[in-house]
């Protein structure tokens, strides 16, 4: 601000017919610096603000020529057009301030080459230059011609890269990138084109040309800051603030996703979890999520705790171009993410248990309606017609057997009356193929909830093996130690079992009692289901 004020004072003091117009150039430079500082404060991790400040510096430097000394005038002539190269870099690096591809880097370097090395003939051969080595207007004009052609090529290349970026951008980002890119290209063209057309369009009037250039360049930083504020390019915080978030009162702090979105400056951040029974990542509602590939503008970084994957952070690769920043954020919040994962897992487990219970109730109602009820209605009709007594007795006996099977499916009589070992032996005797059964330590009864869970886990595992694996041999073992019950079902079938409703149901039953269930199933090598259930009295 002091530099700009000094330049304005010197320009006005020196006077001249267009002093008021020349004094506007330092003001434009000040606009760049101030908007750059605002952008820097909003997104410390982005270089966009720094680039705007640098552009403002290059806008201020040419006006040091107002000192009317050889050195300041020379500096002003050397860097007079560098602001255009900075605008190219701003356009190609928006919104992070970093260049992502080799093509972008080449175009930006070409822009600085046009504004610096190709500027040399202008100040070496211009008659009014303090760096003049020869008064050669022909070389000055030739250098200007080459500089304009090279500049046009850079602008076209910049436009091509911006069009490709807009094509790959998401719709909400495209709504911001299109006007920003169009205006940026317009601002790049205004300076050289208006200078070249000064006599044909502006009748040699420098005032109109200069005002057009001032307004066009002066609006550039404002357009960038507005774009960064609109298109989901939110304010960022330092990663250290995540540590403050972790240490704050849990009841009053924002949710994890909000904290990450604020810190990373990406409102589209997703916190995903790895839960048992699901191969895909799930969201906070337990719903599986398919994460878009990086080619579609999304990136994903796994979050680990103690070498174990507990979740992932999905982010917009356009807004956050450094995966290591996401990984560091993941390391900071890993414990909080794992705690939330357990909550998601519990919520999903409860939902599955409720759905399973509803399904069982529907099955029982259907079996009663379609089977037993229909049979009893038929018997009532036969009794009313005084049908054959033997047929009636057979029908009643069949209805009793059907009712017994139905009750056995809900809660086996052997399990409630004689315990787990007897119920499993009864199940074995009713199977279509012989199985090898090992029982140890079950001389005394277990708690009813443990026996029920163990029975249904074993029956589900056996049923899955018979239906899907096609085994030649099946082994079932139950062993009770002092404070836990170990169950195992192993077969030599096809293997390759995938997590489905049956496996999730077994996991839910076991985890509801504080136990663990693991499934090892290598294709071609059979399947082994092992569960450990606490059973201390």
Query: How many angstroms separate the CA atoms of 337 and 313, rounded?
Result: 10
pLDDT(237) > 60: no
pLDDT above 90 covers what percent of the chain?
6
Pick 436 or 58 by higher pLDDT.
436
Distance CA 529, CA 518 (A): 6
pLDDT of residue 229: 66
Please state which of the ranges 31-45, 98-112, 228-242, 451-465 shows the lowest mean pLDDT: 228-242
Residue 231 has pLDDT above 70, yes or no: no
**Percent of the chain surpassing pLDDT 70:** 70
Residue predicted with more confidence, 72 or 286: 286
Report the phi/psi class of residue 388: left, alpha or beta, with left for phi > 0 and alpha for psi in -120 to 50: beta
361 conformational bin, left if phi > 0, alpha if psi -120 to 50, beta if neither? alpha
pLDDT of residue 372: 62
pLDDT for the residue numbered 3: 52
Q: What is the pLDDT of residues 143-198, one digit of tens each?
A: 888 988 898 899 889 889 988 888 877 776 777 788 888 888 888 888 777 777 76
pLDDT, tens digit (0-9, with 9 covering 90-100), for 101-114: 899 999 999 999 99
- What ranges do the domains of the chain cover? 2-230, 240-345, 417-537
* pLDDT score recorded for residue 13: 52
Quick check: 39 pLDDT over 70? yes
Q: Could you read off the pLDDT of 396-418 as tens digits, one per residue?
A: 667 666 666 666 666 677 777 88
pLDDT, position 15: 56
Helix ranges, 197-255 (H): 198-201, 206-230, 240-247
Measured distance CA(328)–CA(475) in Å, rounded: 47
Burial class of 68 by CB neighbour count within 10 A (0 to 12, 13 to 18, 19+): exposed
Residue 303 · residue 309 · CB < 8 Å? yes
Which pLDDT band holds residue 478 (cuts at 50, 70, 90)? Answer: very high
2-230: CATH topology is Rhopdopsin 7-helix transmembrane proteins (1.20.1070)
Residues 219 and 187: beta-carbon distance below 8 Å:
yes
User: What's the confidence (pLDDT) of residue 71?
Assistant: 63
Written as one string, the DSSP assignment of 134-175 is S--HHHHHHHHHHHHHHHHHHHHHHHHHHHHHHHHS-HHHHH
**What average pLDDT does this structure show over 509-519?**
84
Fold of 417-537: Heat Shock Protein 90 (3.30.565)
The model's pLDDT over 2-16, given as tens digits with 9 standing for 90+, comes to 555 555 555 555 555
Please report the beta strands in 274-363, taking only residues with DSSP state E, as ranges in sequence order: 298-305, 308-316
Average pLDDT in the chain: 76
Q: Specify which residues 489 forms β-bridges with.
A: 476, 529
Query: How high is the pLDDT of residue 473?
Result: 87
How high is the pLDDT of residue 244? 58
Region 314-334: mean pLDDT is 77
Residue 236 has pLDDT above 60, yes or no: no
What are 358-377's pLDDT values in tens digits?
566 566 666 666 666 666 66
Q: What is the pLDDT of residue 240?
A: 56
pLDDT of 507 higher than 70: yes
Virtual CA dihedral for 259, 260, 263, 266, nearest 10 degrees? -120
Cα distance between residue 120 and residue 491, in whole Å: 82
């Amino acid at each position: 601000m002091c530099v700009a004020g000094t330049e304005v004072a010197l320009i006005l003091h020196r006077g001249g017919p267009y002093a008021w117009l020349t004094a506007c150039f330092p003001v434009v430079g000040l606009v760049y610096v101030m908007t750059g500082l605002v952008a820097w404060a909003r997104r410390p991790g982005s270089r966009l603000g720094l680039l705007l400040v640098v552009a403002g510096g290059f806008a201020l430097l040419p006006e040091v020529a107002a000192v009317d000394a050889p050195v300041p005038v020379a500096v002003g002539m050397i860097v007079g057009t560098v602001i255009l190269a900075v605008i190219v870099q701003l356009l190609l690096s928006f919104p992070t301030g970093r260049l992502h591809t080799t093509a972008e880097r080449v175009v930006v370097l070409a822009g600085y080459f046009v504004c610096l090395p190709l500027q040399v003939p202008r100040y070496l051969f211009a008659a009014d230059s303090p760096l003049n080595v020869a008064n050669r207007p022909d070389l000055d004009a030739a250098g200007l011609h080459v500089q304009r052609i090279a500049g046009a090529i850079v602008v076209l290349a910049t436009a091509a890269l911006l069009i490709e970026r807009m094509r790959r951008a998401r719709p909400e980002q495209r709504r911001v990138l299109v006007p920003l890119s169009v205006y940026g290209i317009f601002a790049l063209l205004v300076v050289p084109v208006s200078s070249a057309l000064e006599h044909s369009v502006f009748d040699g009037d420098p005032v109109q040309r200069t005002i057009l250039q001032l307004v066009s360049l002066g609006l550039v930083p404002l357009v960038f800051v507005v774009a960064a504020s609109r298109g989901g390019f939110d304010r960022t915080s330092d990663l250290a603030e995540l540590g403050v978030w972790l240490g704050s009162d849990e009841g009053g702090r924002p949710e994890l996703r909000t904290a990450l979105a604020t810190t990373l400056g990406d409102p589209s951040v997703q916190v995903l979890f790895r839960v048992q029974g699901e191969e895909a990542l799930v969201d906070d509602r337990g719903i599986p999520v398919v994460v878009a590939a990086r080619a579609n503008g999304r990136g994903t970084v796994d979050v680990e705790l103690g070498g174990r994957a507990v979740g992932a952070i999905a982010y917009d690769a356009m807004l956050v171009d450094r995966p290591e920043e996401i990984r560091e954020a993941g390391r900071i919040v890993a414990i909080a993410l794992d705690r939330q994962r357990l909550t998601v897992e519990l919520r999903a487990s409860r939902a599955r248990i409720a759905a399973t219970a509803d399904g069982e109730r529907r099955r029982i109602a259907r079996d009663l309606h379609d089977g037993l009820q229909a049979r009893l209605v038929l018997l009532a009709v036969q009794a009313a017609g005084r049908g054959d007594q033997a047929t009636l007795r057979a029908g009643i006996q069949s209805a009793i057997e059907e009712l017994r099977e139905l009750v056995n499916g809900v809660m086996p009589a052997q399990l409630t009356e004689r315990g787990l070992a007897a119920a499993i032996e009864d199940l074995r005797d009713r199977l279509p193929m012989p199985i090898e059964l090992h029982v140890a330590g079950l001389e005394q009864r277990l708690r009813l909830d443990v026996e029920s869970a163990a029975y249904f886990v074993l029956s589900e595992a056996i049923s899955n093996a018979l239906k899907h694996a096609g085994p030649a041999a099946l082994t079932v073992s139950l062993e009770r130690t002092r404070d836990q019950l170990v169950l195992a079902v192993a077969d030599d079938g096809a293997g390759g079992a995938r997590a489905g409703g049956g496996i999730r149901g077994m996991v839910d039953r076991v985890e509801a009692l504080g136990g663990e269930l693991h499934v090892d199933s290598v294709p071609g090598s059979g399947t082994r289901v092992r569960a450990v259930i606490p059973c201390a009295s």
